[in-house]
Chains A and B, each alone.
Chain A
Amino acid sequence: MGVSFLSLGSIIILLVNSQFSFFISHYEREILIFTLFQGFLSALLSVCLAIPISRSIFRNNFPGKNILVRLMNVMFVLPVLIVILTVIKIFGFNGTPNQILDFFGFEKISIYGLQGILIGHILINLPFAVRLILSGWLMIPSEHFRLARQLNFSRKEYFKYLELPMLIKIIPSIFTIIFLFCCLTFSIALILGGGPGSTTLELAIYQSIIFDGNLGVAARLSLYQLIIMILILIISFKISAKPVFENSLILKAENYIAKNRLQQGLDFLSVATLAIFISMPPIIIFCKGIPNIFSVETFVFSALLNSLLVAFLAATVNLCISVVLSFTIVKEESLRKLVLEIGTFSLICISPLVLGTAIFLALFKYIDISENSLVLTGLVNGILTIPFSLTILLPGFVKITKRYGHIMRSLGLSNFKQIFEIYFPLMKFPIRFAFALVFALSIGDLGIIVLFSGSESSTLPMYLYRLMGSYRMDEAYAVALLLLILALSSFWIIEKGFYYATLRKKMLN
Chain B
Amino acid sequence: MKILFAILLFTFISPLLAEEKTSLIVYTYDSFNTEWGPGPKIEKAFEEGCNCDLKFVSAGDGAALLAKIRLEGEKTKADVVLGLDSNVLEEARKTKLFLPNGLNIELDLPIQWKDDTFLPFDWGFFAFIFDGSKTKKIPQSFKELVDSDIRLVIQDPRSSTPGLGLILWIQKVFGSDSKAVWEKMSDNIVTVTPGWSEAYGLFLEGEADGVLSYTTSPAYHIIAEKDFSKKAAIFKEGHLMQIEVAAITAKTSKRKLAKSFMTFLISDTAQSIIPTTNWMYPAKNPKLALPEAFDIKVAKDKAIYLQPKSVPDLTSKALQVWKLAIRK
A residues whose Cβ falls under 8 Å from a Cβ of B: 27, 81, 84-85, 88-89, 92-94, 110, 112-113, 186-187, 190-199, 203-204, 206-207, 209-211, 213, 297, 299, 305, 308-309, 312-313, 357, 360-361, 364-365, 368, 370-371, 374-375, 448, 450-451, 453-455, 465-466, 468-473, 476
Smallest beta-carbon distance A480→chain B, Å: 11
Name the residue of chain B whose CB is nearest to the CB of A93. B207
Asked whether A213 and B197 contact (CB < 8 A) given A93-B151, A196-B322, the answer is no
Residues of A within 8 A of B63 (CB): 210-211
A208 to chain B: closest residue by CB: B158
B69 → A minimal CB distance (Å): 9
Q: Give the distance to chain A from B206, nearest Cβ to Cβ, in Å.
A: 5
The answer for the CA separation of A297 and B33 in the assembled complex, in Å, is 15
Inter-chain contacts of B195 with A (CB < 8 A): 469
| Given A197-B328, A371-B15, A469:B4 Cβ within 8 A | no
| In the assembled complex, B125 has its CB within 8 A of some CB on chain A | no
**A203-B159, A469-B196 known; A112-B191 Cβ under 8 A:** yes
B contact residues around A448 at 8 Å (CB): 60
Kindly state the separation between the CA atoms of A453 and B322 in the bound complex, as whole angstroms: 32
Interchain CA distance A357-B151 in the complex, whole Å = 37
CA distance A84 to B207 in the complex (A): 12
10 extra interchain contacts, Cβ-Cβ under 8 A, other than A195-B327, A196-B323, A312-B8?
A85-B202, A94-B207, A186-B194, A191-B191, A191-B202, A195-B328, A210-B64, A450-B64, A451-B67, A469-B195
Q: Are A469 and B189 in contact (CB under 8 A)?
A: no
Residues A454 and B57 in contact, CB atoms below 8 Å apart: yes
| CB <8 Å contact, B206 and A94 | yes
Distance A210 CA – B37 CA, assembled complex (angstroms): 23
Cα(A312)–Cα(B4), bound, Å: 8
Bound CA–CA A204/B158 (angstroms) = 8
A116's closest neighbor in chain B, by CB?
B191
**In the complex, are the beta carbons of A450 and B192 less than 8 A apart?**
no
Task: Knowing A81-B198, A451-B64, say if A190 contacts B205 (CB, 8 Å).
Answer: no
Asked whether any CB of chain A lies closer than 8 Å to the CB of B184, the reply is no
Bound complex: CA of A127 vs CA of B56, how far in Å? 41
Given A191-B191, A451-B59, A454-B57, A308–B4 Cβ distance below 8 Å? yes
- Residues on A with C-beta less than 8 A from B156 are 190, 196, 203
Q: Please tell me which stretch of B71-79, B105-113, B116-124, B259-267 contacts chain A, meaning at least 4 of its Cβ atoms lie within 8 angstroms of it.
A: B71-79
- Please give the distance in Å from A453's CB to the nearest CB on chain B: 5
Interfacial chain B residues near A207, Cβ < 8 Å: 158-159
A93 to B207 Cα, complex, angstroms: 6
Tell me the count of chain B residues lying within 8 A, CB to CB, of chain A: 64
- Least Cβ–Cβ distance between B91 and chain A, in angstroms: 7
Taking a contact as CB atoms under 8 Å apart, the answer to whether B197 and A469 are in contact is yes
Query: Is B131 close to A, CB under 8 A?
Result: no
**Which residue of B has the minimal Cβ distance to A300?**
B35
Q: Which of B60, B192, B207 contacts A196 (CB 8 A)?
A: B192
Contact of A191 among B8, B36, B56, B194 (CB under 8 A): B194
Please tell me if the beta carbons of A471 and B220 are within 8 angstroms of each other in the complex: yes
B64: chain A residues within 8 A (beta carbon): 210, 450-451
Q: Is there an interface contact between B61 and A471, defined as CB atoms closer than 8 Å?
A: no
- What's the minimum C-beta distance from A61 to chain B, rounded to whole angstroms? 37
> With a CB–CB cut-off of 8 A, which chain A residues contact B37?
470
Contact check, B197 vs A210: say whether CB atoms are below 8 A apart. Answer: no
Give the shortest distance, in Å, between A370 (CB) and chain B (any CB). Answer: 4
CA distance A501 to B184 in the complex (A): 64
Question: Which of B15, B72, B192 has most A Cβ within 10 Å?
Answer: B192
Question: Which of B68, B191, B205 lies in contact with A451, CB distance below 8 A?
Answer: B68
Task: Please give me the 7 A-B residue pairs with the lowest Cβ-Cβ distance, nearest first.
Answer: A195-B328, A450-B60, A468-B197, A207-B158, A370-B57, A213-B70, A210-B67
Which of chain B's residues have a CB closer than 8 A to the CB of A190? Answer: 156, 191-194
User: Can you name the residue of chain B whose Cβ is closest to the Cβ of A110?
Assistant: B190
Per a CB cutoff under 8 Å, which of A191, A308, A364 touches B198?
Answer: A191
Q: Contact flags (1/0) for B186-216 with A, using CB distance below 8 Å? A: 0001111111111011101111100000000
- The interface centre, meaning the residue of A88, A360, A368 with most chain B CB atoms within 10 A of its CB, is A88
Note all chain A residues with C-beta closer than 8 A to B8: 309, 312-313
- 5 inter-chain pairs at a CB distance below 8 angstroms, sorted by A residue, are A191-B191, A210-B60, A453-B60, A454-B57, A455-B56
If A368-B77, A370-B57, A471-B279 touch, whether A357 touches B71 (CB-CB below 8 Å) is yes
Cβ contacts under 8 Å, B11 to chain A: 309, 374-375
Query: Do B207 and A471 touch (CB < 8 A)?
Result: no
Interface pair A364/B4, CB less than 8 Å apart: no
Find chain B residues with CB under 8 A from A191 CB: 191-194, 198, 202
Task: Give the residues in chain B near A466, CB-CB below 8 Å.
Answer: 30-31, 34
**B237-248: contact bitstring with A at CB < 8 Å (1 yes, 0 no)?**
000000000000
Contact B192 A203 (CB under 8 A): no
A450–chain B nearest beta-carbon distance, Å: 3
Least Cβ–Cβ distance between A114 and chain B, in angstroms:
11
A470 touches B34 (CB 8 A): yes
Question: B41 at the A/B interface (Cβ < 8 Å)?
Answer: no
Residues in B with CB closer than 8 Å to A206 are: 158-159, 194
**Complex CA–CA separation, A186 to B192 (angstroms):** 12
Residues B144-202 near A (CB distance < 8 A): 151, 156, 158-159, 164, 189-198, 200-202
Q: Given the known A-B contacts A88-B202, A471-B224, are A211 and B193 also in contact in the complex, defined by CB atoms under 8 Å?
A: no
* Residues of chain A lying within 8 A (CB to CB) of residue B327: 195, 197
Task: Give Cα A211–Cα B194 distance, bound, in whole angstroms.
Answer: 12
Q: A196-B323, A203-B156 are in contact. Are A454 and B197 (CB under 8 A)?
A: no
Chain B: which residue is nearest A189 at the CB level?
Answer: B194
B190 near A93 with CB under 8 A, answer yes
Q: Which residues of A are found within 8 Å of B220, using beta-carbon distances? A: 471
A206 to B12, CA, bound (A): 32
Contact with A360, one of B4, B71, B191, B200 (Cβ below 8 angstroms): B71
How distant is the Cα of A239 from the Cα of B91 in the complex, in angstroms? 49
CA gap between A1 and B205 in the complex, in Å: 48
Residue of A nearest to B199 (CB): A191
Closest to B190 in A: A112
Residue of B with least CB distance to A306: B11
Chain A residues with CB under 8 Å of B103's CB are none
In chain B, positions 28-61 with a C-beta closer than 8 Å to chain A are: 30-31, 33-37, 55-61
Chain B residues, Cβ within 8 Å of A81:
197-198, 201
Closest to B1 in A: A312
| With A190-B193, A213-B70, A213-B91: A85-B36 Cβ-Cβ less than 8 Å | no
- Residues from chain B with a CB closer than 8 A to the CB of A472 are 36
Contact A211 B158 (CB under 8 A): yes
Tell me which residues across on chain A come within 8 A of B201, comparing CB atoms.
81, 85, 468, 473, 476
Give the distance to chain B from A435, nearest Cβ to Cβ, in Å: 11
Give Cα A305 to B220, complex, Å: 30
The docked-state distance in angstroms from the alpha carbon of A360 to that of B207 is 37
Question: Counting chain B CB atoms within 10 Å of each CB, which of A196, A305, A455 scores highest?
Answer: A196
Provide the bound-state CA to CA distance between A110 and B190, in Å. 9
> Is there an interface contact between A364 and B72, defined as CB atoms closer than 8 Å?
yes
A116→B15 CA distance, assembly (Å): 48
Instruction: Flag B1-28 by CB within 8 Å of A: 1 or 0 each.
Output: 0001001100110010000000000000
A364 and B75 within 8 A (CB): yes
B283 within 8 A of A: no
Bound-state CA distance A88–B205 (Å) is 9
